[in-house]
Copies of this chain bind each other. A is one copy, B any other.
């Protein structure tokens, strides 16, 4: 409640912002550091450059979906169909390349275009038909999966003709896997979009208080619509990368991807009720999940026990996130 005058506020404001950012992401950063340190101690292989790259490459699809999902979740929506986007776009790309001899680049563009179109369909169903995002995207999840199975006949589509395609997802730039580069570019782009454009502000506004956003003249429908287009495009791209890494169009990919993406968002501190969360948090959340999975596999923990450990670590890291926030759920409901 201290008074801040404009003159002396520069430093103060920076402090306010920095503390704010730390408060928002502090929990997940702390959880990340703890898990990371434990992992380094437990396995000598963990800290190697190669292994770190493997972690990042492994999470690349999840991260791409989770970044875009952050936008949707910030609008207090949810997109269950990301996995189906992955499957549809991935398979379509390989079909175009292998069966119709379309050049890789064009095939990818077309597939991303299809992702965009279905993302737009999600957006329209949600904004124009007033359907709850959960059920709308549950429906399109089934529809797109069905289409993906139908066009492939349920079988993997091999890509043999085009080694360029394989490099698109599986290649390296120097020592760094190309998929990691995509994640970095996508992160920077989406971070700018969220924090440095009007659209980004509108995303926060819509999720924070839909009425306020409407009363301020924001085209809320358009904002929500665009968020679903984003998930469509980015998860389609994620699917294409994955398919390229597998070097075959597997229609089964992406099952359960929505849960991974949403988990990354929430572990990263984004609230499912919308309006609060950061992209940085999501990135750390995604990497954290990747590190957990990696170290468990490195140590050779039984796959069944892995599930248990993973569950416990999720609870632990989100709990750290929760207790670091001074205002508890009960309180926040009041305000």
Contacts and interface: CB of A to CB of B under 8 A. Distances in A.
Interface of A: 80, 125, 129-132, 134-136, 138-143, 145-147, 149-150, 154, 210-211, 214, 259, 262-263, 266-267, 271-272, 302-312, 314-315, 318-319, 322, 328-330, 333-334
A135 B304 contact: no
B311 A140 contact: yes
B306 A139 contact: no
B132 A318 contact: yes
B314 A138 contact: yes
Contacts of A319: 129, 131
Given A328-B130, A334-B211, A267 B143 contact: no
Contacts of A308: 142-143, 146-147, 150
A136 B272 CA distance: 13
B139 A333 contact: no
B322 A272 contact: no
A320 to B, nearest CB: 11
A139 B311 contact: yes
B125 A306 contact: no
Number of copies: 2
Given A154-B304, A334-B214, A134 B314 contact: no
A130 B329 contact: yes
A307 B143 contact: yes
Contacts of A307: 142-143, 145-146, 149
Contacts of A328: 130
Given A304-B150, A306-B146, A134 B266 contact: yes
16 contacts: A129-B315, A131-B315, A131-B319, A131-B322, A134-B262, A134-B266, A135-B266, A135-B318, A139-B310, A142-B314, A146-B305, A146-B306, A146-B310, A149-B307, A210-B333, A214-B334
Contacts of A134: 262, 266, 272
Contacts of A80: 259
A312 B310 CA distance: 35
A220 to B, nearest CB: 8
